[in-house]
Amino acid sequence: MTNSIFRDNKNDKNTFDKEVMHMEHKGTVRLETDRIVLRQFTKEDYQLVYDNFESDVNMTKYLRWKAAEKLDSAVEVVNDWVENYKNKDFYQWAIVPKDLGEPIGTISVVEMDEKTKKVHIGYCIGTKWWHQGYTSEALATIIPFFFEDVKVNRIESQHDPNNPNSGKVMVKCGMKYEGTLRQNDWSNQGIVDAAMYGLLASDYFANQNDRISN
C-alpha cells in the first residue's frame, strides 16, 4: 500500500508543495565584504580559473572532479557557468579578494530542493589561499542572502571527515554538525563518509534577534 505522504497529487490542495512558500530566486548576484567580492565568472577569467584553482591537484584531492590538465578544461567549465547565469535558480560565484582582483575559487549551490526550500553549498579555493579566511567569509556572505532574499528554509553542506578544515569553515559560519553518513559520498579518494552540517532559517533569525536584543 502506498503511503499518501509520498504521493505527488497536484489536485490535492493539502499536499505539501501547496502549503510551502516557494523560494524567491535571484540568481548569482554580486555580493561583497570589506575583503572579497562574490561575482559571476566571465570569459575573461579562463586563464585565472585554470591557474588559480582548476589545475590545483592538492585542492581537488577531496573533490569529485579531477584537476584540469589543460586550459581547455577550464574554458569548458567557465563557458557552462556563463551560459547558466541566465537562470535565476543558478548560483555560482567567483571568490575574488579585492586586493588581488582575481578569482581564487568558487562557492555555489550544488544541489537544491524546491519543496523543502533547501540548498546544498559546495566550495573550493586554491591551496595558495588556504587558511586566510576567504572561504569562511564567502560562506558567511551567502548565508544571509539565501535566508533573507531567496527565502530558503535550510542551508546544508558536507565534507569528508578526512578533510576537517572544510568542516571548520561550516562551524565558523554557524552551521550545526548533524552526523556522519557512512560511505555516503564519493570523491577522488573513492567512496567516503560524509559529515553533514545544516542551518535552518529559524536558527538564523533567532540568532539575529538575539544579537539585536543584546
The domain spanning residue 32 has which CATH number?
3.40.630.30
Cβ-contact 169, 130 below 8 angstroms: no
- Residue keyed to cell 553518513: 181
Domain tally for the chain? Answer: 1
Question: Can you tell me whether residue 8 is helix, strand or coil?
Answer: coil
For residue 17, the SS3 value is helix
Cβ(62)–Cβ(190) below 8 Å? no
Task: Tell me the residue ranges of DSSP E strands in 89-132.
Answer: 92-97, 105-113, 118-125
Residue 3 lies in a domain: no
Domain residues for 107? Answer: 20-213
Q: What's the Cα-to-Cα distance from 176 to each of 93, 168, 169, 202, rounded to whole Å?
A: 23, 11, 11, 13
Which amino acid type is present at position 73?
S
Q: Is residue 11 part of a domain?
A: no
Q: Is residue 160 assigned to a domain?
A: yes
> Could you tell me whether strands 31-32 and 36-39 are parallel, antiparallel, or unpaired per DSSP bridges?
antiparallel
Alpha helices in the chain (DSSP H): 16-19, 46-49, 71-84, 134-144, 164-172, 201-213
Whether pTM > 0.95 for this model: the answer is no
In a domain, 7, yes or no: no
Indicate whether 5 belongs to any domain.
no
Spatial neighbors of 149 by CB under 8 A, at least 6 apart, are 24, 26
Residues facing 92 on adjacent strands? 108
Phi and psi at 211, nearest 5°, equal -65, -40
Query: How does pLDDT run along the chain (214 residues), one tens digit per residue?
Result: 444 333 344 444 434 343 457 999 999 999 999 999 999 999 999 999 999 999 999 999 988 889 999 999 999 999 999 999 999 999 999 999 999 999 999 999 999 999 999 999 999 999 999 999 999 999 999 999 999 999 999 999 999 999 999 999 999 999 999 999 999 999 888 999 999 999 999 999 998 876 666 5
- Is 8 among the domain residues? no
For residue 62, tell me if it sits in a domain. yes
Inside any domain, residue 64: yes
Largest CA distance in the chain: 61
Q: In what order do the strands lie in the sheet with 31-32?
A: 31-32, 36-39, 92-97, 105-113, 118-125, 154-159, 190-200, 176-187
